[in-house]
Structure 1
Amino acid sequence: MARAQGARALMALAFETTYGAAPVGGFTRIPFASTSLGAEQPLQTSELLGYGRDPQAPIKDAVTADGDVVIPIDAEAFGFWLKAAFGTPTTTGTEAPYTHEFRSGNWALSSFSVETGIPEVPRYAMYSGCMVDSLNWQMARSGLLTATASVVAQGEEIASSTSTGTPASIALKRFGHFNGSITRNGANIGNVVSADLTYTNNLDRIETIRADGKIDGADPSIAALNGNVVVRFADQTLVTQAINGEACELEFSYTLPTGETLTLTAHAVYLPRPRIEISGPQGVQATFDWQAASDLAVGRMCTVTLTNDREDY
């Protein structure tokens, strides 16, 4: 009997027409680094008395299906996760390259189904009614560039063979930290050590009473976009903005030599007044835990633009 190994694990994704109903086709093979997506059902310990010191059999509790998926930020597959987090994009272009614009604030988010496969066992788990609760990634000077998608699913179905047919493949073109840049109001920010950004849908799980133990849905609530920027303290520009309570536009972008681009623009970013600490003879750093809000002129909080050779999502 073969033992399961992560190196042979598979993942495929397809968007649903009806929430919770896994599509019969249209799946795409999705690259991923790790996943904790799964269903669990805890046991409730018996509270009954009168049967001696040994407890009675426990009772099954509600089923919870959720988890994180760590994914590479690439020029094509990442668009599926952006669609799940922000909604269907507006795509322009009559031929490649195409520009896909994802906007925050959509009330209607696309649900999707994900199948994870462990072929050695075999075990194929289909998670339907999936919604992205949050999408997070970090910018740094070096290392592998990945994002973490926190997923809420309706339920899990286990099978001994795949239900995805033959998924479409994707030519992987990864962005790297070396391809990244950060601008403030259109000008480069100097002395940035690292940055972190998180977009959250704040999903509200509809936990009704059902015979199958599944949730009825997950509705998006007030969205949030926040993070931090760590800079070597060299001037008072950001501190002055924080003291004055002004907003700025921050743009986080990546560009590949082959022309593919990914840009997240936070249109109205507010900075807190940071504590400037001198901890020793080394350079002084300041951390700004920023928050984004809706920009009245643009009409939304943020825009994500992905340029690649894919015609639509």
Structure 2
Amino acid sequence: MARAQGARSQLAAAFETIYGTAPPSGYTRLPFAASSLSAEQPLLASELLGYGRDPLAPVKDVLSAGGDLTVPIDAEAFAFWLKAAFGDPTTTGTSPGPYTHEFRSGAWTLSSMAIETALPEVPRYAMYSGVMLNQLSWTMQRSGLLTATASLVAQGETVATSTQVGTPADLDLLRFGHFNGSVERNGVALGNVVSAQISYSNNLDLIETIRADGRIEGADPSIAALTGSIDVRFADMTLVTQAINGAACELEFAYALPTGEALTVTAHAVYLPRPRIEIAGPQGVQASFDWQAARDPVTGRMATVTLINHIASY
């Protein structure tokens, strides 16, 4: 008897034309490291009396679908999650490439996705439609595997015994590593950075209307947020002075491969809180800044994400 194994699992995704309607074709197989994407429907215990001490049958509560995907930050597949987070990119370049895909924060309309997770040996093929990205976050550090967490909200789940996506297209896996990363402040390399955390959230507002199928009606993006933290070895007063003055700076988090592929996340107006500076012992002193980004009056937006690769369009 075959048993489900994560090593044999697969994930394919496509963008929807109509929210909640999975397209019949056009899927791409995407790499992932872990998934909690699933649907659940809890039971409500009966409160009725008059039938003895043994309870009556429970009733079903509302259906909810969603979860987190752990995905690699790479030069091709990661664009799917950027498009889900920021909307359609502006793409420039000519064949055979490279192409520059520019994603901008503040889009009023975001694309929904259909995602199928597959466990072929069971077999179980779960199709999630109306998938919206609520939050995309990751950590920059010196070593380890570079992955991001995509927090998703779905309208519903349909389970079948065979795939519903046909034969998905494949992409080249051109993965960035932590050693490919850099951090700049106002165009100058920011030294003494131990780690940095970046999180972009669409703060989705779930439309929970009364429906016979128990699903949500949709998910609307509200005020976006770009936040994070920077841990630095305390070597100068640059960041502390900025925090005290209440001024904004531009932070750029970037990755680049020797073959030319690159990913750059630019937060145009970043504000820093005044941190605690503690001397915990004989080791080096570190300071942590929990930063927040805001709309920059010059660029007219909060953030720009630029991805350079050889894919013509997404």
**What TM-score, normalized by structure 1, do the two folds share?**
1.00
Q: Distance in 2 between matches of 1:130 and 1:302?
A: 23
Tell whether 2:154 aligns with 1:153: yes
Would you say how many aligned residue pairs link Structure 1 and Structure 2?
A: 313
Match of 2:22 in 1: 22
Q: Distance in 2 between matches of 1:57 and 1:18?
A: 38
Match of 1:7 in 2: 7
Tell whether 2:32 aligns with 1:32: yes
Output the amino acid matched with 1:64.
Answer: S
Q: CA deviation at 1:193?
A: 0.3
Match of 1:46 in 2: 46
Q: Distance in 1 between matches of 2:274 and 2:53?
A: 58
**What TM-score, normalized by structure 2, do the two folds share?**
0.99
Match of 2:63 in 1: 63
Q: Distance in 2 between matches of 1:207 and 1:307?
A: 38
Output the amino acid matched with 2:3.
Answer: R
Q: CA deviation at 1:54?
A: 1.2
Output the amino acid matched with 1:70.
Answer: T
Q: CA deviation at 1:186?
A: 0.3
Q: CA deviation at 1:219?
A: 0.2
3-state SS of the aligned residue for 1:290? strand
Tell whether 2:120 aligns with 1:114: no
Q: Distance in 2 between matches of 1:264 and 1:33?
A: 22
Q: CA deviation at 1:51?
A: 1.5
Q: Distance in 2 between matches of 1:291 and 1:131?
A: 23
Q: Distance in 2 between matches of 1:58 and 1:197?
A: 43
Match of 1:307 in 2: 308
Q: Percent of aligned pairs with the same residue?
A: 73
Match of 2:211 in 1: 210
Tell whether 2:268 aligns with 1:267: yes
Output the amino acid matched with 2:76.
Answer: E
Match of 2:92 in 1: 92
Q: CA deviation at 1:52?
A: 1.5
Q: Distance in 1 between matches of 2:55 and 2:166?
A: 47
Q: CA RMSD in A?
A: 0.4
Q: Distance in 2 between matches of 1:197 and 1:49?
A: 52
Q: Distance in 2 between matches of 1:74 and 1:201?
A: 22
Q: CA deviation at 1:50?
A: 1.4
Q: Distance in 1 between matches of 2:188 and 2:229?
A: 18
List alignment gaps of at least 5 residues for structure 2: none
List alignment gaps of at least 5 residues for structure 1: none
